[in-house]
Amino acid sequence: MRIIFLFQMAITAALTVLLTLIQVACGQLEDVIIDRYFIPTHCSREVQVGDYVRYQYNGTFKDGRKFDSSLDKGFPFVGQVGVESKVIPGLDKGVQGMCVNERRKITIPPHLAYGVLGAGLVIPPDATLVFDVLLLDLWNKEDKVQIRILHKQQNCKRTVMPSDFAKINLNKSMDEGLLGMCVGERRSIIIPPFLAYDDKGYGTKVPPYATLIFDVLLVDVFNVKDDVKVEVQKIPQPCRRRAVVGDFIRYHYNGSFQDGTVFDSSYSRNSTYNTFIGLGYVIAGIDKALQGVCVGEWRRVTVPPHLAYGENGSGELIPGSAVLIFDLHIIDFHNPKDRVDIKVIYKPAECNLISSANDLIMYRYNCSLLDGTRLYSSDDYPEPPRVTLGQGKLIAGLDEGLQGMCVLERREITVPPHLAHGTNGASGVPSNAVLLFELELLQLQKGVPEGFLFIWLQDSPEPLFPAMDMNQDQEVPLEEFSAFIKLQVAEGRGRLHPGIDSDVILGDMFKKQDRNADGKITEDELNINVNEDNEVPKHEEL
């Protein structure tokens, strides 16, 4: 009987094993089932054994009942895959090969989960588990800062160096990612968690164990040791004069940031910027860069923030710590102490007369700004102008430049604004403009002192009345007076006021001598009267 009983027990055990094998074959899983129901378009890296992962998950049974969720806990799972793993083997296996942002449904059989024992009151024995996983992050302890250059300028004159200031200051790893960048360059910089904020995160913006990806556009780079950088792009030849401290300068400019964004321009206002050099009226970098310029010169000036608007910037226009680039075109400059600069282009060999105050002249001229901009010309009129010098008919500098000339002499004169149209300018002439005149003296009639109509060039006849009374009848009518004066002029003994009809002058002179207005001058009338008020002789041409 004992033998039969043992035989029956053996048969029962064999049947139990067979039924178990049949059950596995018919209903239970041998491996995890993975449903990759969302795969991102771009997947640069997949989870491998030894990697660290950060993911959100929902854990349910096959009937949909939830038993666990990272979302309910308020923080994702973080752990290493395959090495000292903190999760069940099936889940560890199910996340391998995942991409960041991929979603998977992982079905795990009991023997790769909690097996026949289950897990306390939460997981019953032999339970098949389903995990819905969203991979948030992936890294490895061997990772370094990754740099992907998205765009780089072909002409890169300067790159970020250690100790440079680049408007980004997050941590040392970011510094590493910025090294070698050019202004205008775009990079994607990937920093693994242990080189970023690790397990602490950063406030509410960066969770613990987060890989950080920075898409960076480098706008500015400078060093606190930087000085103003000047690139001379065009310089006129010859350069007769260079600007110094105390000069007053007019220039056009375009102001931009290092990325090319224009923030200001004098051209948009259709007016030059006018200022004194070296006296602190402009930012220090420009004050320095304007020294030594020539008229007509083009310069590109790079100004670091500490020589511009510093950390505070300037309103909404200039951000803090901005490097500024100015493209300058020098229109003109002068010094308040400047006088008229005269350059003789041509002077005839014979020069018997030279122009001076009160002379009547006829001349040709072209007037322009120092940058060559033409303002006006005598050629625009039917005939050249006539003017009496020294009478305030011309701007002071031009009047001065026309004196001392010979007939047919040509000059080039430079007139500073305080001897031209000054701060107000004139029609077609900008304020504070230095003017350049090309002059040619065409005709010259010597003049008489201001207020005179006639002067003697030699001693007058003595006595005068008998010489004037040509027919010796003791009276001189207008006709006889006019004939006498014209004879003196013709013989070079006297000179009439130029530019006025001689008959008009002679009529006026006659009236002054014909004191009783009877149409004739007598010897008594010709005598010089004395001013009764101050006993000073009245002015009389004769």
DSSP 383: S
Beta bridge partners of 464: none
Structure tokens at 444: 């010259």
Bond preceding residue 304 cis, omega within 30 of 0: no
Amino acid 407 reads: V
Amino acid 143 reads: D
Structure tokens at 25: 């074959």
CB atoms within 10 A of CB 57: 20
Residue among 427, 435, 428 at smallest CA distance from 370: 435
Question: Which residues belong to the active site?
Answer: 57, 67-68, 88, 114, 131
What is the domain class of 229-333 according to CATH?
A: alpha beta
CB atoms within 10 A of CB 205: 8
What beta strand segments (E) does 335-392 contain?
A: 341-346, 360-369, 374-377, 386-388
Q: How far apart are CA 28 and CA 111, in angstroms?
A: 10
Bond preceding residue 238 cis, omega within 30 of 0: yes
State which CATH number among 3.30.930.10, 3.10.50.40, 3.40.50.2020, 3.10.20.30 fits the domain covering 33-139. 3.10.50.40
State which CATH number among 3.30.2230.10, 3.10.50.40, 3.40.50.2020, 3.50.30.30 fits the domain covering 146-217. 3.10.50.40
Decide if domain 454-526 falls under CATH 3.30.930.10: no
Radius of gyration of the chain (CA): 51
Residue among 260, 333, 272 at smallest CA distance from 302: 260
The answer to whether the Cα torsion of 36, 42, 47, 52 is positive or negative is negative
Residues 24 and 30 sit within 8 Å (Cβ to Cβ)? yes
User: pLDDT tens digits, the chain, 542 residues: what are they?
Assistant: 333 333 343 434 343 333 343 344 445 678 999 999 999 999 989 999 999 999 999 999 999 999 999 999 999 999 999 888 889 999 999 999 999 999 999 999 999 999 999 999 999 999 999 999 999 999 999 999 888 888 887 777 777 777 666 655 455 667 788 888 888 888 888 899 988 888 898 898 899 999 998 888 888 888 889 999 999 999 998 898 999 999 999 999 999 998 889 999 999 999 999 999 999 999 999 999 999 999 999 999 999 999 999 999 999 899 999 999 999 999 999 999 999 999 999 999 999 899 999 999 999 999 999 988 999 999 999 999 999 999 899 999 999 999 999 999 999 999 999 999 999 999 989 999 999 999 999 999 888 888 788 888 888 888 888 888 888 888 889 898 888 888 888 888 888 888 788 888 888 888 888 888 888 888 888 765 433 344 444 445 56
Residue 150: per-residue pLDDT? 83
Per-domain residue ranges of the chain:
1-30, 33-139, 146-217, 229-333, 341-445, 454-526
Residues 365 and 377 sit within 8 Å (Cβ to Cβ)? yes
Q: How far apart are CA 228 and CA 283, in angstroms?
A: 11
Q: How far apart are CA 496 and CA 504, in angstroms?
A: 11
Q: How far apart are CA 302 and CA 299, in angstroms?
A: 10
Is this structure's pTM higher than 0.75? no
Return the CATH fold of 341-445: Chitinase A; domain 3 (3.10.50)
Which H or E run contains 285? helix 284-289
Residue among 23, 27, 19, 87 at smallest CA distance from 53: 87
Residue position matching structure tokens 């004098």: 266
Amino acid 141 reads: K
Query: Counting Cβ atoms within 10 Å, is residue 106 exposed (0-12), middle (13-18) or buried (19+)?
Result: buried
Domain 146-217 and domain 454-526 have a common topology: no
